[in-house]
């Protein structure tokens, strides 16, 4: 049992725990925290996989911006304990079981599909052969320039849309 | 140092995704449903990164980058909508927001 | 021993963390003292004076007071998070310090650099990552207390932090463009040479934006809306008492230190000395400085001190002299250079902080927001674009 | 060379006129509509004149060809928008534009008090456009476009007063009847393409040139093509058995009858036959059929014309029979004669119709000759012009009709395809023609007036109507002298003009050609007698005798002893009834075709196929889907969670499928 394994299992456990908490928690704010936990552990996993930049972005954007937004909204709307209504029987008796089934199914096939393929070398050492941010940016700003710009426009639209909606809300 | 097989990461991402789906169906609060969606996105990202690492192809990371950006945009708009709904309907329970039907 | 050889990273890192924690905790304590003193003198008062010579033991007293106070938890509070929030705030605040290089990486122990705990190639990003989470401490505190003022404080702070984080990041990107690296050492070495090569000159606008945004990030005057005593009754930590309150307190000061360190690294050449290497005499500055300080203390001891204070101050004097002499020893002289300059600059920034606090009034909330979005953000954006253009024109 | 290089101008002008009048003219003053309508046509007439001038300057031995753009191209089937000009085309262009110009002018007076003025002129212009397309077309398909286009315009104009049921029905009748012929025409085109792998006249003719003549015994594809195309001609040119629509077409305004149903459109069939003469000339059987149909029609409709009392009906039947003469001419190989008769007929028949229109105008819409009479004094101009036209059509020597009809009959008697029986039929037809035409004139203008002076105020028509009458009268009289001179010793201008077109059938087709050449030769040799002999032979020829007899008989019956006719009628009333009722042809057709079709359409197609099968299917589908929707819509509960569930169900199914497939592929 080497350090990367230990790290991996800790983070994996944390992530799954967080996911479960997200589901079972009744307070939205608790769910938010659980999700943040998931994200942080995922960031560590990214580090394990040598994707430093992505890890940082994950924390900054997801944990630092998106989730703050969520928390902010929860606080703003003062969202209290969730009422477990069951107007939709089908969701209760079909959806949830099927969801779990999907979980097992995908997991099974993932396992079967990727057995054997292992991370190229030394996934443990975070700094060892980490993906250089330079290469990533080259890829991003040369080969994927158009998608990048398209995304930026998408974001702009999202900003405008959010503003409009918020205004209407008042 | 020994190595963590990619399949571990993949299985983890699968599990997280499945949990996200379950939450997506199970939760009633609009905001938490959004969170479940975010969870699914994260799971997919993990799979992306794992594959990118396995095949030594950075494109996967680029996709993750895009996914994150889009998720951010989606959250912004989605939450704005949530606020509007909350203001108009005085509820956050999706099961109470059901006027659009047959 | 072979364990150390195998897991050098682990062992050395742990050691460094331990040392760093101790140092920082102490520093935090004395930063509070420093602030109170400076503000007092700005307002022509004495400030803490009686607990120890020049109130030097005041922090200790405060700490004890916090420890022994009753820890009140509001019945309506959300317990888990009520407890979680301060820990979150403090731990995150301290974590950031792990990324700061206090000295050149060339100084090594077991093949590991001494003056930096986590030497990441994208340290800056990590630092921002961690600071960006810092908001949760405040927000959760405000939420979990489950009462009006804290909630308002929490809302305000989360909104404010998100807003100003944007311009904070943007203002720094200019430097990144110049240095072409995310790692602190890279950025610092890019400013190598003399004071002329520091980033503050090309990035003066970026620097000003950074300072402003940084003050807002740390909820300090004039941006201390979340904890405005006069209107929110200390905002998000109204309900907190005793050691939890202390944690918030320390977190705030830790953030101040972090931000100052960051400013030092990004704009003021970090642990580089302002003088060109050719000037050999600068190697003696640390020692000389300490010795001079010792001399002042000696004079003070002799003239003003009475009773027990005199004894305490004598000890301080001796410490100063000893430190000065050690620093003058050739082997130590080289090692101490980096930390010396670094700490000096940081202290300078802390002084600016306190100075601003002592002089400026508080913003109104809407002013705060419009200032952040309508002035700071555009300016930093323009600065960024201009920098990019200049670089482009220069290196094709 | 401007017009030669811009042939499309001739087409475009009337089209533009039609578009402008039709789209904008509604609220315009009539003067503006006149300006547009007449202006466009007159411009195109000027273009034609210029075209002739230019055409005479170039080498006219072969057709001038111009291709504009590829209209459609399906596999090997290529249709270009291409126009061609040769002597035949020029004659047609001249006739069409000239007559239509006059008719336009005439209409301004005749239609002055009618509604839908702009509509009328728009239709007229459109008709001119399509007619010119038909004439200028360089391939069968484009020709067919013009062919159908004129059919459409004729429909629109016959039913111009569509509020009158009889008019609307007549329009429909004309359209449907011609459609029967067009069906054959279409198949003919397809067959031609199948045979020659092209629909361009040039290509086809070149191909035909090196095919052998099919004998009547060994019928080949050429005969089939010719007969099919001729079917189209039968419909369009109102020959037996499809002539029934033309008399009814008289429901339309008189100018329309003059232009479309006398001068131009109905002659399209003749033009087509002449245009396709290389094919016909190589299919003797087809030639014979054409001749036969022509001769029979000429005689048959003449007999009907004898007893008609409606002035326009008489003219209608005479048109049918004159067309019969044209076909007879083409059928016996005298294409030039046929075309020449076409031209002269355009003049005098147009004139007759316009004059009749003028009479009707004067009589306030009265068309029954029995209620007229003695109009000679009241409307002198109309009277004189109509009288001249009657002389022309009757074939009185010296008038245009004489020369053209004489040539045709001569070809029928002496040509290579000559046939005594056909000649005889034509001769009797000529006699009847002159009889009923003079009957018309006598009934209308002579004798005592049989109308109520107080009711009808008879008045001469305005100048806009009389001027065209006079112009046409001149043409009707002098038009024949284009072809006359060889009789008085000289070159036959018309012959030698259209000669290049029919050159390939030198000697076997055109009868008068050698004659005129001989005349030219004789003249050159200074020998006089042969033309004089021709002259005497022509003047004393059977046709002239027939015409004169007809005149005298008409005079005897309707002026000298007006009651003799009645007695005659009483004596043979059976025959009278038969002819008077046009041999009950309409009734027979009604019984044979119309009623059965009606029955099938109503009982089978409508009540069963449409209502039961088609509507049943459609409504059934609608009903089923509606029921299904009613069931399925329950799924849309408006509850987002159930939607989510469906998404999950889909995801599970898809992943199962996907992974299952992947698994299966791996194995």
Measured torsion, CA atoms of residues C327, C328, C330, C332, in degrees rounded to the nearest 10: 0
Please report which confidence band the pLDDT of residue D56 belongs to, taking 50, 70 and 90 as the band edges: confident
Quick: pLDDT tens for D489-509: 556 778 778 878 887 554 343
Q: How many CB pairs under 8 A join A and D?
A: 40
- pLDDT of D406 reads 84
Question: Taking CA C298 as the corner, what is the angle to CA C295 and CA C302, rounded to the nearest 5 degrees?
Answer: 145
Quick: pLDDT tens for C63-81: 888 888 888 888 877 888 8
Question: How far is the C-alpha of A129 from the C-alpha of D605, rounded, in Å?
Answer: 82
Residue among B25, B28, B100 minimizing CB distance to D638:
B100
Q: Is the backbone peptide bond immediately before D241 cis, with ω within 30 degrees of 0?
A: yes
Which chains pack against D, by 3+ Cβ pairs within 8 A? A, B
- Whether C8 is in a domain gets the answer no
- pLDDT of D489 reads 58
- Give the other-Cβ count within 10 Å of C310's Cβ: 14
Please report which confidence band the pLDDT of residue D216 belongs to, taking 50, 70 and 90 as the band edges: low
- Whether C278 is in a domain gets the answer no
Least confident of A76-90, D341-355, D419-433, D548-562: A76-90
Mutate: best of C3, C85, C132, C392, partner A, most A CBs <10 A: C132
Q: Is the pLDDT of residue D149 over 80?
A: yes
Question: How far is the C-alpha of C7 from the C-alpha of D501, rounded, in Å?
Answer: 110
- Rounded to an integer, the average pLDDT of D211-229 is 82
C241: left (phi over 0), alpha (psi -120 to 50) or beta: beta
Measured torsion, CA atoms of residues D316, D322, D326, D332, in degrees rounded to the nearest 10: 130
Q: Sign of the C-alpha dihedral, residues C157, C159, C164, C166?
A: positive
Residue among D639, D641, D648 minimizing CB distance to A98:
D648
Please report which confidence band the pLDDT of residue D664 belongs to, taking 50, 70 and 90 as the band edges: confident
Polymer length of chain A: 170
Question: How far is the C-alpha of D498 from the C-alpha of D476, rounded, in Å?
Answer: 20
Note whether A49 contacts B9, CB cutoff 8 Å: yes
Question: How far is the C-alpha of D549 from the C-alpha of B41, rounded, in Å?
Answer: 108
Q: Is the pLDDT of residue C367 over 90?
A: no
User: Which residues have a Cβ under 8 Å from the Cβ of C72 and sit 6 or more positions away?
Assistant: C239, C241, C242
Beta bridge partners, D69, equal: D81
Short-list D373, D376, D562, D565, CA closest to D450: D373
The answer to whether residues B92 and B79 touch, using CB atoms and an 8 Å cutoff, is: no
User: pLDDT > 90: what percent of chain D?
Assistant: 35
The answer to whether residues C192 and C277 touch, using CB atoms and an 8 Å cutoff, is: no
Q: Is the pLDDT of residue D659 over 90?
A: no
Q: Is the pLDDT of residue D169 over 50?
A: yes
- Rounded to an integer, the average pLDDT of A51-74 is 87
- Whether C328 is in a domain gets the answer no
- pLDDT of D523 reads 44
* DSSP, res C202: T
**Mean predicted lDDT score pLDDT of chain D:** 85
User: pLDDT > 70: what percent of chain D?
Assistant: 92
φ/ψ (deg, to 5) at C368: -55, -50
- Whether C300 is in a domain gets the answer no
Note whether D640 contacts B21, CB cutoff 8 Å: no
Note whether C132 contacts A69, CB cutoff 8 Å: no
Residue among A94, A99, A102 minimizing CB distance to D655:
A102
- pLDDT of D352 reads 92
Residue among A88, A99, A105 minimizing CB distance to D655:
A105
Quick: pLDDT tens for C35-68: 888 989 898 888 888 887 788 888 888 888 888 8
Q: Where is pLDDT greater, at C280 or B102?
A: C280
Quick: pLDDT tens for B7-53: 888 889 999 999 999 998 888 888 999 999 999 999 999 999 988 88
Quick: pLDDT tens for C136-176: 888 888 888 878 788 887 887 778 888 888 888 889 998 98
Q: Is the pLDDT of residue D515 over 70?
A: no
Q: Is the pLDDT of residue D458 over 90?
A: no
Range of D143-157, D441-455, D496-510 with top mean pLDDT: D143-157
As for how many domains chain C has, the answer is: 1
Quick: pLDDT tens for C83-122: 888 888 889 888 888 888 888 888 877 777 878 877 777 8
Please report which confidence band the pLDDT of residue D232 belongs to, taking 50, 70 and 90 as the band edges: very high
Chain A residues whose CB is inside 8 A of the C129 CB are 43, 55-56, 59-60, 63-64
Please report which confidence band the pLDDT of residue D114 belongs to, taking 50, 70 and 90 as the band edges: confident
Note whether A75 contacts C130, CB cutoff 8 Å: no
D593: left (phi over 0), alpha (psi -120 to 50) or beta: alpha
- pLDDT of A35 reads 93
Which chains pack against C, by 3+ Cβ pairs within 8 A? A
Quick: pLDDT tens for D606-646: 888 888 898 999 999 999 999 998 888 877 778 888 888 88
**C129 to chain A: nearest residue by CA?**
A60
Q: Is the pLDDT of residue A83 over 90?
A: no
Quick: pLDDT tens for C180-238: 888 888 888 888 888 888 888 888 999 999 999 998 888 777 877 766 666 666 677 77
Note whether A71 contacts C143, CB cutoff 8 Å: yes
- pLDDT of A128 reads 43
Q: Is the pLDDT of residue A121 over 50?
A: no
- Rounded to an integer, the average pLDDT of D98-106 is 93
Chain D residues whose CB is inside 8 A of the B97 CB are 640
Residue among D639, D648, D651 minimizing CB distance to B98:
D639
User: pLDDT > 70: what percent of chain C?
Assistant: 95
Q: Sign of the C-alpha dihedral, residues D536, D540, D543, D549?
A: positive
Cα distance from C138 to chain A (closest Cα, Å)?
Answer: 11
Q: Is the pLDDT of residue D18 over 90?
A: yes
- pLDDT of D522 reads 42
Chain D residues whose CB is inside 8 A of the A94 CB are 645, 649
- Rounded to an integer, the average pLDDT of D357-362 is 88
- pLDDT of C4 reads 62
| Interface residue A93 vs chain D (CB under 8 A) | no
Please report which confidence band the pLDDT of residue C303 belongs to, taking 50, 70 and 90 as the band edges: confident
Do the bridges between strand C108-109 and strand D64-74 make them parallel or antiparallel, or are there none, so unpaired? unpaired
- Rounded to an integer, the average pLDDT of D310-329 is 92
Q: Is the pLDDT of residue D562 over 80?
A: no
- Rounded to an integer, the average pLDDT of D347-374 is 88
Q: Where is pLDDT greater, at C396 or D337?
A: D337
Q: Is the pLDDT of residue C10 over 60?
A: yes
Chain B residues whose CB is inside 8 A of the A70 CB are 31, 34-35, 75, 79
Residue among A39, A95, A114 minimizing CB distance to B6:
A114
Distance of CA D546 to the CA centre of its chain: 28
Q: Where is pLDDT greater, at C286 or D416?
A: C286
**Mean predicted lDDT score pLDDT of chain B:** 87
- Whether C24 is in a domain gets the answer no
- Rounded to an integer, the average pLDDT of D312-325 is 92
The answer to whether residues D434 and D551 touch, using CB atoms and an 8 Å cutoff, is: yes
Cα distance from C70 to chain A (closest Cα, Å)?
Answer: 27
- pLDDT of A39 reads 93
Question: How far is the C-alpha of C307 from the C-alpha of A163, rounded, in Å?
Answer: 67
Note whether D652 contacts A98, CB cutoff 8 Å: yes
Cα distance from A93 to chain B (closest Cα, Å)?
Answer: 10
- pLDDT of D507 reads 39
Quick: pLDDT tens for D332-350: 888 888 899 999 999 999 9
Cα distance from D644 to chain A (closest Cα, Å)?
Answer: 8
- Rounded to an integer, the average pLDDT of D113-141 is 92
Please report which confidence band the pLDDT of residue A114 belongs to, taking 50, 70 and 90 as the band edges: low
- pLDDT of D644 reads 86
- pLDDT of D485 reads 57
Instruction: Assign a CATH topology to domain A3-130.
Output: 1.20.120
φ/ψ (deg, to 5) at D466: -75, -35
Range of the domain at C141: 58-272+368-395
Look up the CATH number of domain B6-90. Answer: 1.10.287.3510
Note whether A29 contacts C121, CB cutoff 8 Å: no
Q: Is the pLDDT of residue D528 over 60?
A: no
ipTM entry: 0.77
Note whether A95 contacts D637, CB cutoff 8 Å: no
Domains of chain A, residue spans:
3-130, 132-170
- Whole-structure pTM over 0.80, yes or no? no
Chains C and D touching, counted as 3 or more CB pairs less than 8 Å apart? no
Please report which confidence band the pLDDT of residue D514 belongs to, taking 50, 70 and 90 as the band edges: very low
Question: How far is the C-alpha of D171 from the C-alpha of D152, rounded, in Å?
Answer: 9
């Amino acid at each position: 049992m080497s350090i990367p394994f230990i790290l991996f299992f800790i983070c994996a456990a944390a992530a799954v725990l967080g996911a479960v908490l997200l589901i079972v928690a009744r307070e939205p704010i608790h769910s938010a925290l659980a999700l943040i936990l998931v994200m942080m552990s995922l960031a560590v996993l990214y580090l394990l996989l040598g994707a430093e930049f992505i890890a940082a972005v994950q924390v900054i954007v997801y944990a630092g911006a998106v989730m703050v937004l969520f928390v902010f909204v929860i606080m703003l709307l003062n969202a209290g304990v969730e009422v477990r209504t069951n107007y939709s029987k089908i969701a209760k008796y079909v959806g949830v079981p099927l969801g779990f089934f999907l979980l097992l199914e995908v997991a099974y096939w993932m396992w079967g599909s990727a057995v054997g393929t292992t991370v190229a070398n030394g996934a443990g050492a975070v700094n060892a052969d980490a993906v250089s941010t330079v290469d990533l940016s080259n890829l991003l700003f040369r080969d994927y320039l158009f998608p990048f710009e398209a995304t930026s426009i998408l974001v702009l639209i999202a900003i405008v849309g959010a503003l409009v909606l918020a205004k209407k809300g008042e | 140092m020994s190595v963590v097989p990619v399949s571990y990461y993949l299985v983890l991402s699968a599990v997280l995704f499945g949990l996200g789906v379950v939450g997506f169906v199970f939760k009633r609060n609009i905001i938490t449903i959004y969170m479940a969606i975010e969870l699914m996105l994260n799971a997919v990202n993990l799979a992306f990164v794992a594959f990118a690492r396995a095949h030594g192809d950075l494109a996967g990371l680029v996709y993750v980058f895009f996914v994150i950006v889009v998720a951010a945009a989606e959250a912004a708009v989605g939450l704005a909508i949530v606020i509007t709904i909350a203001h108009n309907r005085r509820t956050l329970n999706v099961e109470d927001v059901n006027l659009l039907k047959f | 021993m072979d364990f150390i050889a195998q897991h050098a990273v682990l062992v050395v890192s742990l050691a460094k963390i331990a040392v760093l924690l101790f140092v920082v905790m102490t520093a935090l304590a004395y930063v509070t003292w420093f602030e109170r003193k400076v503000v007092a003198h700005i307002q022509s008062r004495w400030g803490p004076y009686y607990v120890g010579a020049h109130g030097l033991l005041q922090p200790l007293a405060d700490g004890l007071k916090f420890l022994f106070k009753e820890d009140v938890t509001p019945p309506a509070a959300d317990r888990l998070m009520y407890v979680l929030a301060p820990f979150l705030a403090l731990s995150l605040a301290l974590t950031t310090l792990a990324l700061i290089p206090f000295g050149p990486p060339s100084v090594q122990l077991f093949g590991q650099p001494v003056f930096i705990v986590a030497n990441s190639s994208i340290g800056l990003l990590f630092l921002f990552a961690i600071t960006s989470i810092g908001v949760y401490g405040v927000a959760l505190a405000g939420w979990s207390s489950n009462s009006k003022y804290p909630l308002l404080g929490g809302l305000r702070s989360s909104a404010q932090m998100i807003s100003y984080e944007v311009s904070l990041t943007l203002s720094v990107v200019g430097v990144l463009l110049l240095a072409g690296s995310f790692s602190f050492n890279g950025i610092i070495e890019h400013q190598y040479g003399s004071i002329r090569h520091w980033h503050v000159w090309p990035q003066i606008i970026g620097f000003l934006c950074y300072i402003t945004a940084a003050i807002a990030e740390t909820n300090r005057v004039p941006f201390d809306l979340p904890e405005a005593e006069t209107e929110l009754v200390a905002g998000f930590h109204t309900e907190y008492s005793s050691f939890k309150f202390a944690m918030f307190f320390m977190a705030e000061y830790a953030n101040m230190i972090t931000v100052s360190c960051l400013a030092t690294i990004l704009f003021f050449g970090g642990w580089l000395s302002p003088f060109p290497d050719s000037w050999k005499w600068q190697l003696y500055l640390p020692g000389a400085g300490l010795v001079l300080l010792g001399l002042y203390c000696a004079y003070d001891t002799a003239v003003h001190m009475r009773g027990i204070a005199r004894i305490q101050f004598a000890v301080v004097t001796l410490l100063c002299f000893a430190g000065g002499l050690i620093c003058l020893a050739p082997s130590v002289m080289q090692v101490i250079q980096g930390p010396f300059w670094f700490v000096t600059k940081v202290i300078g920034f802390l002084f600016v902080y306190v100075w601003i606090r002592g002089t400026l009034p508080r913003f109104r909330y809407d002013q705060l927001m419009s200032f952040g979005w309508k002035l700071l953000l555009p300016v930093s954006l323009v600065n960024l674009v201009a920098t990019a253009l200049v670089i482009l024109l220069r290196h094709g | 060379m401007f017009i030669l290089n811009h042939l499309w101008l001739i087409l475009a002008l009337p089209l533009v006129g039609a578009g402008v009048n039709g789209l904008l003219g509604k609220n315009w003053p009539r003067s503006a509509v006149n300006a547009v309508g007449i202006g466009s046509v007159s411009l195109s007439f000027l273009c034609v004149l210029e075209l002739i001038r230019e055409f005479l300057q170039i080498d006219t031995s072969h057709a001038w060809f111009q291709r504009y753009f590829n209209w459609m191209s399906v596999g090997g089937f290529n249709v270009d928008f291409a126009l061609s000009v040769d002597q035949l085309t020029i004659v047609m262009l001249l006739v069409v534009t000239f007559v239509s110009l006059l008719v336009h002018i005439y209409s301004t007076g005749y239609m002055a008090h009618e509604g839908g003025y702009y509509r009328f002129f728009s239709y007229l212009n459109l008709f001119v456009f399509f007619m010119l397309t038909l004439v200028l077309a360089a391939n069968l398909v484009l020709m067919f476009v013009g062919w159908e286009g004129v059919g459409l315009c004729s429909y629109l104009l016959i039913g111009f007063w569509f509020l009158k049921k009889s008019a609307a029905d007549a329009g429909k009748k004309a359209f449907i009847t011609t459609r029967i012929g067009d069906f054959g025409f279409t198949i003919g085109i397809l067959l031609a393409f199948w045979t020659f792998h092209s629909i361009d006249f040039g290509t086809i003719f070149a191909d035909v040139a090196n095919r052998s003549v099919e004998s009547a015994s060994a019928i080949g594809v050429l005969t089939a093509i010719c007969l099919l195309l001729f079917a189209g001609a039968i419909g369009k040119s109102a020959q037996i058995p499809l002539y029934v629509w033309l008399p009814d077409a008289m429901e339309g305004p008189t100018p329309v009858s003059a232009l479309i149903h006398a001068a131009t459109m109905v002659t399209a069939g003749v033009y087509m036959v002449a245009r396709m003469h290389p094919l016909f000339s190589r299919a003797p059987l087809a030639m014979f059929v054409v001749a036969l149909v022509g001769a029979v029609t000429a005689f048959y409709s003449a007999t009907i014309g004898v007893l008609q009392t409606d002035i326009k009906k008489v003219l209608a039947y005479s048109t049918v029979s004159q067309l019969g003469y044209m076909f007879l001419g083409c059928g016996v190989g005298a294409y030039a004669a046929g075309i020449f008769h076409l031209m002269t007929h355009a003049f005098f028949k147009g004139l007759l119709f316009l004059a009749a229109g003028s009479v009707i105008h004067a009589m306030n819409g009265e068309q029954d000759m029995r209620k007229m009479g003695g109009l000679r004094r009241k409307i002198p101009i109309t009277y004189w012009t109509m009288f001249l036209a009657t002389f022309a059509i009757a074939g009185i020597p010296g008038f245009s009709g004489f020369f053209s009809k004489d040539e045709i009959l001569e070809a029928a008697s002496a040509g290579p395809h000559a046939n005594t029986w056909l000649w005889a039929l034509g001769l009797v037809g000529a006699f009847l023609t002159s009889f009923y035409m003079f009957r018309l004139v006598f009934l209308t203008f002579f004798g005592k007036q049989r109308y109520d002076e107080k009711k009808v105020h008879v008045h001469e028509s305005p100048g806009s109507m009389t001027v065209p009458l006079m112009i046409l009268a001149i043409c009707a009289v002098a038009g024949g002298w284009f072809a006359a001179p060889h009789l008085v010793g000289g070159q036959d201008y018309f012959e030698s003009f259209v000669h290049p077109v029919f050159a390939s059938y030198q000697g076997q087709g055109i009868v008068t050609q050698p004659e005129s050449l001989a005349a030219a030769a004789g003249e050159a040799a200074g020998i006089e007698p042969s033309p004089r002999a021709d002259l005497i032979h022509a003047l004393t020829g059977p046709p002239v005798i027939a015409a004169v007899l007809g005149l005298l008989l008409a005079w005897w019956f309707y002026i000298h002893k007006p009651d003799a006719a009645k007695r005659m009628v009483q004596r043979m009333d059976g025959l009278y009834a038969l002819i008077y009722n046009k041999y009950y042809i309409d009734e027979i057709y009604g019984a044979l075709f119309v009623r059965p079709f009606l029955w099938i359409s109503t009982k089978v197609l409508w009540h069963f196929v449409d209502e039961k099968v088609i509507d049943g299917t459609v409504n059934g589908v609608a009903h089923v889907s509606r029921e299904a929707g009613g069931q399925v819509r329950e799924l849309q509960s408006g509850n987002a969670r159930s939607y989510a569930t469906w998404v999950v169900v889909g995801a599970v199914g898809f992943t199962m499928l996907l992974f299952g497939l992947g698994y299966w592929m791996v194995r």
